[in-house]
Homo-oligomer: A and B are copies of this chain.
């Protein structure tokens, strides 16, 4: 099952893109989760060529969304086009938080629904699947008003499953009393677009963004969640996506080796 392992690029944030791809190929890792900024920096066409030549595929592109920002829709259309050119089957959407100074949470959530209605057919034409990512509720005000898997499924419901799915990320939903029930529902409704893993550790750092733990360092039942996602019918890639200053300070190949080791130990069957 190690062939399902995919390295999300942000786990090795400062590892240059060609090195990530070469490093993955050398470690027989065949999937990477890409981010738009480093791809743009290296060049879109050039990145696509690099992947093809190395035999590494993009398992997802991070990220579209942030729908309350100016020009968001045009930018999201470009993100869809980029995913298509990279051969990434999934574009991860982080919805964005409340506009500055706003308290209108329902309104912000309505705008996400509106943006999806615009974007889904466009993604469909490019053969890219939008994946709504519920983020942990501690990000609700400033990053993502979509806070639970149940809410993501409600937002996906009006759209064909091949156009709109959801992200299941262990870091964001491990705490949810409805997590397993909603993973089952996501499977039945054919919405499981991508599965991401990171662990939960405390204390959280200031700003909380970079507090994610290496697999096995925290309290998340990673294997149980992976089994639940599998039981719901998902057999796609499993991206390791960890935002962590200590990992970012380490050499890329070392982080990749560590992630592979922990993935075997804590995510795969024992």
Contacts and interface: CB of A to CB of B under 8 A. Distances in A.
A176 B208 contact: no
A219 interface: yes
Nearest to A101: B219
Contacts of A220: 103
Contacts of A141: 175, 200, 202, 218-219
Contacts of A151: 177
Contacts of A150: 177
Nearest to A141: B219
A98 B218 CA distance: 11
Contact of A105 (B98, B147, B208, B221): B221
Nearest to A180: B106
Nearest to A104: B221
A122 B207 CA distance: 42
A154 B154 CA distance: 23
Given A136-B137, A138-B204, 13 more contacts: A103-B220, A105-B175, A105-B221, A109-B177, A136-B138, A137-B138, A137-B175, A141-B218, A142-B203, A147-B175, A148-B176, A154-B177, A208-B208
